[in-house]
Chain A
């Protein structure tokens, strides 16, 4: 098992360079640190594997999913439509 460690910015830069050579992916320090916080730095192969994983969802995908999950999903009877008034809800008694 290959191991890695760093405690200085120079070592972080060196790790980014090593990852770039191995994976052809150029990470920012922030991106690398986020991955390190997730999988640790003890196992370089695991770190590399994590970096090479296809992204589950792009941000755009998450945004589309967000819209799908909340938009138009709440059927309310005609009698109740547009009667929701956030200004008055605090005055109502909670069952």
Chain B
């Protein structure tokens, strides 16, 4: 989103074809959305809020928000993920909720620069700003 970022061009070059491919859907969970709201509002106030509202309410069926922490069993699954990865990797609270959502929706690919996910079994990390080898 931030055009002046040194990573913007690289991320855009990576993401745009993925977004434009009709076979792809982008899924985020409620915690990622809340985190994004915070970032946008903290950085840009009302303008950030408008972007967040578009992401939340706009016409983009390929971009979906999933609400996955609904009951005790969900929290228990998150606890199991943290028990498995929380001490030995950088997987934290929000990350564990993402893994929980990915498992629930049978999603294997995650677009992130967070190396912690590389330690999670069954997840393929797509890093837009990783150096090309």
Q: Which residues of A contact B (CB under 8 A)?
A: 57, 59-60, 62-67, 69-76, 78, 80-82, 84, 86-87, 89-90, 92, 94-95
Q: Which residues of B contact A (CB under 8 A)?
A: 1-8, 12, 15-16, 19-20, 22, 35, 38-40, 42-44, 47-48, 51, 54-55, 58-63, 90, 92-94, 114
The answer to whether A69 and B51 have CB atoms under 8 Å apart is yes
With A74-B44, A76-B44, A94-B38 as contacts: A59 and B8 at CB distance below 8 Å = no
Q: How far is the CA of A89 from the CA of B94 in the complex (A)?
A: 11
| Minimum C-beta distance from A59 to chain B (A) | 6
Q: How far is the CA of A50 from the CA of B5 in the complex (A)?
A: 44
With A73-B1, A74-B3 as contacts: A66 and B58 at CB distance below 8 Å = yes
- Nearest-CB residue, chain B, relative to A77: B4
With A86-B35, A89-B39 as contacts: A81 and B5 at CB distance below 8 Å = yes
- Nearest-CB residue, chain B, relative to A66: B60
Q: How far is the CA of A84 from the CA of B38 in the complex (A)?
A: 11
Contacts of B35 in A (CB 8 A): 86, 89-90
| Minimum C-beta distance from A91 to chain B (A) | 11
Contacts of B19 in A (CB 8 A): 63, 66-67
- Nearest-CB residue, chain A, relative to B112: A86
Q: How far is the CA of A78 from the CA of B60 in the complex (A)?
A: 31
With A71-B16, A89-B39 as contacts: A81 and B4 at CB distance below 8 Å = yes
Contacts of B92 in A (CB 8 A): 87
Contacts of A82 in B (CB 8 A): 5-7
